[in-house]
A and B are shown apart, each in its own frame.
Chain A
Amino acid sequence: MRRISVFGRDSITPSLALVYALMVLVFSLINPRFFSLGNFKAIMASLAISGIVAIGLTPVILTRNFDISIGSIFGLGMVVVAKLFNIPGTAIPIPVIILAGLSVGVVIGAINGFLITRVGINSIIVTLGTLAIFRGLTFYWSLSNISIPKEAFLRLGRYFVFDVVPLPFIYFIVLLVMGYFLLRYTPTGRNMYLVGANPTAARLAGIKISRSQFIPFIISGFMAALGGVINASQVGFANSTFGTGYEFKILTIVVLGGISLNGGRGTLPGVFFATLIIGSISNGLALIDIPINWRDAFIGIILIVAISVDSLQHQMKTTGVFKSSKRNTILLKDKTV
């Protein structure tokens, strides 16, 4: 089988790894506490969650769609799990509860996917709607904090393998590898790249576009819910505000990671390093005495820079020059912006 040239060739993964290394250097020089094992353990434990959700968003962006409901799915997943642990009288087995939380993500993902690929509504509008609906539902179920007493469950998110590696980080790596395998070596994954790069050509080549665009939403819903479940385990409680605005951070990770917003380009290793970068920012900023409120501003600036680079790269690729307007041509129906 012919290798698709989108892999590897103009990969930005090495640059991202370099940026991360520089970042660690700078933060550590300003405050050596950054470079301690304890600090890294804490950072890795929490960024693993963002990474997992980012893995989920990746195929959605690859196939030229958006999913801004992942924040709501994340929050709902947390609340569902927390509530199930607190039903008086019964003790539902942990695996069942986790499964329930995950299925929330799958169901919402399926709803999103159905409305987008079968009914044909733009993904931004659909996920805007589901963001509202399920955020509202989350509020309804959790007006105050719901704590999770179950010790065994809490360990799932807090355990450190060999006392060094956080368990969630291992989940992250495993999912990363699985995702990489799916995208690069299976027909499903390759089709996603083709559909994203050129939907018309993909359709004429016999690929079922609606299927290639449906599956990513299931994946993003699942990962968002999984992130929520692990987060519930780490913080030990749930409330209605978790996950609000999360889609912004995850989107930044994905775009920084080299997944092109024009579809069909980018690989998961880039997302891995982008997760490290974005995930370390809050911690780094706090340790160098910059008020935590500035964190989102930093991430916003990073996002603007990332999409600018992405746009310039795309223009180079399609026209050979730094000239705009190629993006403005009419795309597949109005499924994309």
Chain B
Amino acid sequence: MPGMKKRAIPDTAILLIFLVALTALFSTTGRNFFTYANISTMLNNMVVAGIIAIAITPLIITRGLDISFGASLSLSTVIMAMLYDRGTPQLTCLLIGLLLPIFVALFNGVLAEYLNLIPLILTLATTSILIAVGQVLTNGRSILMITDELFNFATKSPFIIPYPVVILILILLVYWYFLSFTKTGKQIYFIGANPRAAKLSGMRVKFIKIALYLAMGLVTGIAAIIMVSLSGIGYIYHGNNLTLPVLSAVFLGGMSLAGGEGSIWKTVIGVTIITVIFTGLSLMNIQFYFIQIFQGLALVIIVAFYEIRKNRQVAK
């Protein structure tokens, strides 16, 4: 039918094929890939980056962005660990750890929306402030925080899959439903497609965008708690290995920074690809820098592939 979005093969299918090929490649290089232990570890690695990638997706759709999640998460783990170290009850520590990223997100969202600042640059600045605070507090040292509850959370789950993965699935389902089936979800896509028209159609653009920043803050807080339970430490450099994978995953999944399009499933596949690369290469005992090179190459190649496809379709 003329005028409809025509795709010979949908992007999602291509992504899945790539993922399957990647998995096949790695499983041939060692018998360790498909073991329970490995899949379990892989899923755990995925959780932190995964929930943040999921939460950032609707934000990017509305043309927002927040790259301070790594620093926000790290500072949160530092504060939780420091407070616990001084005798603060565990629950209070976790609560504060949950609230800190929300406040950071509020700061980012309000400034970006009310002062009309470019989110990338603003959150770049926020990142530096958060890291500086963390460095002043810890001088780069890590602080232990191991409790029975956190340990059980990370390792003992009555289901086949660990608790963190359950949270990942829950967040995934919530965001998926929200974006695809609700009225606000529809508004989110519209806002991304044309924020001006959205406002003039009566949509509360600023409100919705700030709410998305806050939601991402909450998810970052949850991710911080999961990170502490998995790693046992509060550490200001936790986020160093988080920022690039999350952003790569999101763009691998075909998200456009221009807004208006994107889907949770594509992001999830992007996260899986990044995690498979990471885990697969680690299993092959490849050094971390090669993994970084590989992830960077994957990002550039896949996004280039998307663009070339898009260009060819427009030309037809």
A–B interface present (Cβ within 8 A): yes
Which residues from chain A sit less than 8 Å from chain B, CB to CB? Answer: 66, 115, 119-122, 124-126, 128-140, 240, 245, 248, 251-252, 255, 261, 291, 293-297, 299-301, 303-304, 307-308, 311-312, 315, 324-325, 327-331, 333-334, 337
How far is A255 from B122 in the complex, measured between Cα atoms in Å?
A: 12
Taking a contact as CB atoms closer than 8 A, the residue among A121, A124, A325 that contacts B195 in the complex is A325
By the criterion CB–CB under 8 Å, are B289 and A129 in contact?
no
Residues 65-82 of B, flagged 1 when their CB comes within 8 A of A and 0 if not, give 100000000000000000
Q: Which residues of A contact B290 (CB under 8 A)?
A: 136, 140
Tell me which of B132, B133, B291, B299 has the highest count of chain A C-beta atoms within 10 A of its own C-beta.
Answer: B132
How far is A311 from B113 in the complex, measured between Cα atoms in Å?
A: 11
By the criterion CB–CB under 8 Å, are A132 and B299 in contact?
yes
Residues 279-316 of B, flagged 1 when their CB comes within 8 A of A and 0 if not, give 00000000111111111110110011001101100000
- Interface presence of B32 (CB below 8 A): no
- Interface presence of B244 (CB below 8 A): yes
By the criterion CB–CB under 8 Å, are A248 and B128 in contact?
yes
For residue B133, which residue of chain A has the nearest CB?
A297
By the criterion CB–CB under 8 Å, are B63 and A328 in contact?
yes
**Taking A136-B292, A337-B257 as contacts, is the C-beta distance between A300 and B132 under 8 angstroms?**
yes
Q: Which residues of A contact B65 (CB under 8 A)?
A: 337
Chain A nearest CB: distance from B125 CB in Å? 4
For residue A123, which residue of chain B has the nearest CB?
B257
By the criterion CB–CB under 8 Å, are A261 and B131 in contact?
no
Q: Which residues of B contact A299 (CB under 8 A)?
A: 125, 128
By the criterion CB–CB under 8 Å, are A133 and B300 in contact?
yes
Chain A nearest CB: distance from B135 CB in Å? 4
By the criterion CB–CB under 8 Å, are B300 and A126 in contact?
yes
Chain A nearest CB: distance from B240 CB in Å? 9
By the criterion CB–CB under 8 Å, are A121 and B304 in contact?
yes
How far is A136 from B281 in the complex, measured between Cα atoms in Å?
A: 14
Q: Which residues of A contact B124 (CB under 8 A)?
A: 248, 251, 303
- Interface presence of B169 (CB below 8 A): no
By the criterion CB–CB under 8 Å, are A132 and B136 in contact?
no
Q: Which residues of B contact A134 (CB under 8 A)?
A: 296
- Interface presence of B129 (CB below 8 A): yes
Q: Which residues of B contact A131 (CB under 8 A)?
A: 296
Taking a contact as CB atoms closer than 8 A, the residue among B293, B296, B307 that contacts A119 in the complex is B307
By the criterion CB–CB under 8 Å, are B195 and A328 in contact?
yes
Q: What bracket does the count of chain B residues touching chain A fall in?
A: 35 or more
By the criterion CB–CB under 8 Å, are A300 and B129 in contact?
yes
Chain A nearest CB: distance from B205 CB in Å? 8
Q: Which residues of B contact A303 (CB under 8 A)?
A: 121, 124-125, 128
- Interface presence of B25 (CB below 8 A): no
By the criterion CB–CB under 8 Å, are A129 and B297 in contact?
yes
Taking a contact as CB atoms closer than 8 A, the residue among B120, B244, B300 that contacts A124 in the complex is B120
- Interface presence of B256 (CB below 8 A): yes
Q: Which residues of B contact A139 (CB under 8 A)?
A: 287-289, 292
Chain B nearest CB: distance from A142 CB in Å? 10
Task: List B residues 76-125 near A (Cβ within 8 Å).
Answer: 111, 113-122, 124-125
Chain A nearest CB: distance from B118 CB in Å? 5
By the criterion CB–CB under 8 Å, are B244 and A294 in contact?
no
Q: Which residues of B contact A115 (CB under 8 A)?
A: 300, 304
Q: Which residues of B contact A137 (CB under 8 A)?
A: 289, 293
By the criterion CB–CB under 8 Å, are B257 and A125 in contact?
yes
Chain B nearest CB: distance from A299 CB in Å? 6
Tell me which of A131, A132, A138, A324 has the highest count of chain B C-beta atoms within 10 A of its own C-beta.
Answer: A132
- Some 11 contacts from A to B, beta carbons below 8 A apart, are A121-B307, A122-B257, A124-B120, A128-B244, A133-B296, A291-B136, A293-B132, A304-B122, A325-B199, A337-B119, A337-B257
By the criterion CB–CB under 8 Å, are A337 and B120 in contact?
yes
Taking a contact as CB atoms closer than 8 A, the residue among A120, A126, A140 that contacts B311 in the complex is A120
For residue A142, which residue of chain B has the nearest CB?
B289
How far is A131 from B295 in the complex, measured between Cα atoms in Å?
A: 11
Known: A119-B307, A136-B292, A307-B122. 16 other contacts (CB 8 A): A120-B310, A125-B251, A125-B303, A128-B247, A129-B297, A136-B290, A136-B291, A261-B121, A293-B136, A294-B132, A296-B132, A297-B133, A300-B129, A311-B118, A328-B63, A334-B258
